[in-house]
């Protein structure tokens, strides 16, 4: 078929031929929401700082134009942000942007990005029970590694100016369990797992784990929170893919935060201080036992989720696992391919498979009504769409990493100059 004839047919084909399936979440959607969340978060912080400076300057009766007045106002504002009220307010503002950004995207694009996030995915008692040991072993295994990294960073002259959360009373513990543990766990999981990891899984589930965890770690904006947050992201991504439920990953995230706060409070009650220094051998043993425990916790989560998923297939009399993996080959598969296939099976619901089948059947029915020439046009348009989609998703990856890395570098430089 000539290019001229193809070009003449394309406008008609685009408008009337082969209706497209419902819009699905792509990584360029996730990157737009991630970047918008960053912009919104820093805008709210700037507004809070300006209002705080004005209120403090007015209450002290000083002028911001004077060096002494500016220094005094800055010190007072720093004290406020490090206080309990300041930590709660800043946390609430920052975490709200994790929801405001997707909500704004839904409104602007008329596209429900929350559909398929895993709010309604059924979970069982076994999956819920495994969240606590997963969080405990996650902390035990990676906190010593993170502490060593922090020590090395501090040796280079880095000065951490972030708020140090001190839990020295029971009411404060309860307040922090809500605003520092529960709210961040839900909001951050919705954006970083439910939107970013879910969309990145279309590259592969391994890429989804690494990409979402990397963005999650650098999003915290400090070398002090880089290592542990990365591994929190890895574990939460894995349990999200295994269970298909955002609530399971949010529970692991919540327990990770809550255990840190509760242990800090217990240490304060026993020693009168929030600092607890362990000898190197104790840290090493904690790391070894923690990592071993984490392996078995994740393995337990996988086995429970796999048994639950097979039961769903049996109830519907389908074999989704083999359908997703294709024809069973005799040759040995690579571990990474097996990893992706297993997570794809657990993460994909029978309803999603049924919907995919219905869309494919409808498409085949439409194709059967048209000539070979129109089929060729459709295939050509589909290839163009696939190439364009791939480019947009790759640009989304680049923009997200560049922006979050740039802000992280700026914050890190500030830590060396302060």
Residue reference for tokens 């737009």: 32
Least confident span in 7-16, 45-54, 280-289: 7-16
pLDDT at 338 over 60: yes
Domain membership flag for residue 190: yes
pTM of the model: 0.89
pLDDT at 202 over 60: yes
The pLDDT value recorded for residue 324 is 62
* Confidence band, pLDDT 50/70/90 cuts, at residue 10: very low
The pLDDT value recorded for residue 327 is 45
The answer to whether the CB of 246 falls within 8 A of the CB of 173 is: no
The pLDDT value recorded for residue 206 is 97
Q: What's the maximum distance between 2 C-alpha atoms anywhere in the chain?
A: 83
| H/E element, 267 | helix 246-271
Q: How far is CA 288 from CA 139, 142, 247, 392, in A?
A: 12, 9, 28, 42
403: left (phi over 0), alpha (psi -120 to 50) or beta: alpha
* Tens digit of each residue's pLDDT (9 = 90 or more) over 259-317: 999 999 998 898 887 777 889 899 999 999 999 999 999 999 999 999 999 998 888 77
Domain membership flag for residue 389: yes
Domain membership flag for residue 181: yes
Q: How far is CA 311 from CA 133, 304, 340, in A?
A: 24, 11, 21
Phi and psi angles of residue 25, each rounded to the nearest 5 degrees, phi first: -65, 125
Domain of residue 385: give its range. Answer: 26-417
Domain membership flag for residue 14: no
The arithmetic mean of pLDDT across residues 404-416, rounded, is: 90
Residue with the larger pLDDT of the pair 20 and 37: 37
Domain membership flag for residue 114: yes
Q: How far is CA 43 from CA 37, 38, 39, 40, 49, in A?
A: 10, 9, 6, 5, 10
The answer to whether the CB of 217 falls within 8 A of the CB of 103 is: no
* Confidence band, pLDDT 50/70/90 cuts, at residue 3: very low
pLDDT at 390 over 70: yes
The answer to whether the CB of 175 falls within 8 A of the CB of 261 is: no
38 CB-near residues (< 8 Å, 6+ apart): 219, 403, 404, 407
Domain membership flag for residue 155: yes
Beta strands in 318-371 (DSSP E): none
Least confident span in 209-213, 321-325, 356-360, 397-401: 321-325
The pLDDT value recorded for residue 11 is 41
Output the average pLDDT for the chain.
87
pLDDT at 30 over 90: yes
168 CB-near residues (< 8 Å, 6+ apart): 265, 268, 274
Domain membership flag for residue 310: yes
The pLDDT value recorded for residue 16 is 46
Q: How far apart are CA 37 and CA 174, in angstroms?
A: 28
pLDDT at 17 over 50: no
Q: How far apart are CA 371 and CA 9, in angstroms?
A: 13
pLDDT at 124 over 90: yes
* Confidence band, pLDDT 50/70/90 cuts, at residue 378: confident
pLDDT at 240 over 70: yes
The answer to whether the CB of 1 falls within 8 A of the CB of 13 is: no
Give the long-range contacts of residues 387-396, CB within 8 A, separation 24 or more.
Answer: 389/26, 392/26, 392/28, 393/26, 393/27, 393/28, 393/202, 393/203, 395/28, 395/31, 396/26, 396/27, 396/28, 396/29, 396/30, 396/31, 396/32
The pLDDT value recorded for residue 379 is 77
Query: Using the 8-state DSSP alphabet, how is residue 319 labeled?
Result: -
Q: How far apart are CA 4 and CA 175, in angstroms?
A: 69
The answer to whether the CB of 309 falls within 8 A of the CB of 346 is: yes
The pLDDT value recorded for residue 388 is 92
The answer to whether the CB of 117 falls within 8 A of the CB of 198 is: yes
Phi and psi angles of residue 63, each rounded to the nearest 5 degrees, phi first: -105, 135
Residue with the larger pLDDT of the pair 164 and 223: 223
* Tens digit of each residue's pLDDT (9 = 90 or more) over 86-106: 999 999 999 999 999 999 999
Residue with the larger pLDDT of the pair 103 and 334: 103
Q: How far apart are CA 351 and CA 356, in angstroms?
A: 9
Domain membership flag for residue 20: no
Domains held by the chain: number: 1
Residue with the larger pLDDT of the pair 43 and 68: 43
The arithmetic mean of pLDDT across residues 161-189, rounded, is: 90
Least confident span in 142-146, 190-194, 329-333, 357-361: 329-333
Share of the chain above pLDDT 90, in %: 60
């Amino acid at each position: 078929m000539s290019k001229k004839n193809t070009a003449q047919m394309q406008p008609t084909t685009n408008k009337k031929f082969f209706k497209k399936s419902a819009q699905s979440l792509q990584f360029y959607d996730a990157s737009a929401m991630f970047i918008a969340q960053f912009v919104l978060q820093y805008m709210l912080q700037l507004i809070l700082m300006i209002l705080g400076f004005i209120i403090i300057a007015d209450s002290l009766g000083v002028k911001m134009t004077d060096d002494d007045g500016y220094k005094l106002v800055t010190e007072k504002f720093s004290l406020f942000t490090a206080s309990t009220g300041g930590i709660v307010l800043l946390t609430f503002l920052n975490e709200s942007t994790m929801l405001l950004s997707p909500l704004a995207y839904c409104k602007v694009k008329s596209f429900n990005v929350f559909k398929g996030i895993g709010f309604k995915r059924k979970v069982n008692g076994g999956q819920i029970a495994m969240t606590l040991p997963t969080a405990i072993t996650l902390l035990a295994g990676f906190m010593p590694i993170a502490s060593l990294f922090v020590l090395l960073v501090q040796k280079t002259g880095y000065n951490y100016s972030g708020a140090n959360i001190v839990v020295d009373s029971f009411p404060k513990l309860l307040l922090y369990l809500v605003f520092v543990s529960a709210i961040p766990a839900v909001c951050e999981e919705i954006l970083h797992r439910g939107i970013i990891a879910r969309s990145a899984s279309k590259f592969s589930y391994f890429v989804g784990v690494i990409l979402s965890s990397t963005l999650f770690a650098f999003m915290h904006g400090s070398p002090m929170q880089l290592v542990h947050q990365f591994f929190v992201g890895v574990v939460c991504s894995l349990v999200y893919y295994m269970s298909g439920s955002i609530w399971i990953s949010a529970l692991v995230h919540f327990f990770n935060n809550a255990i840190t706060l509760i242990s800090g409070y217990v240490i304060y009650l026993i020693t009168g201080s929030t600092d607890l220094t362990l000898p190197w051998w104790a840290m090493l043993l904690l790391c070894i036992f923690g990592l071993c425990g984490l392996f078995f916790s994740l393995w337990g989560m996988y086995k429970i989720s796999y048994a639950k998923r097979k039961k769903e297939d049996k109830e519907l009399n389908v074999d989704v696992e083999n359908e997703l993996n294709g024809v069973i080959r005799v040759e040995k598969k690579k571990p990474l391919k097996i990893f992706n296939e297993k997570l794809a099976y657990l993460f994909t619901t029978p309803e999603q498979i049924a919907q995919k089948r219905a869309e494919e059947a409808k498409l085949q029915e439409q194709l059967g009504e048209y000539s070979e020439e129109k089929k060729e046009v459709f295939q050509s348009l589909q290839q163009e769409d696939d190439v364009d989609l791939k480019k947009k998703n790759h640009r989304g990856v680049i923009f997200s990493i560049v922006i979050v890395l740039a802000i992280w570098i700026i914050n890190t430089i500030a830590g060396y100059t302060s």
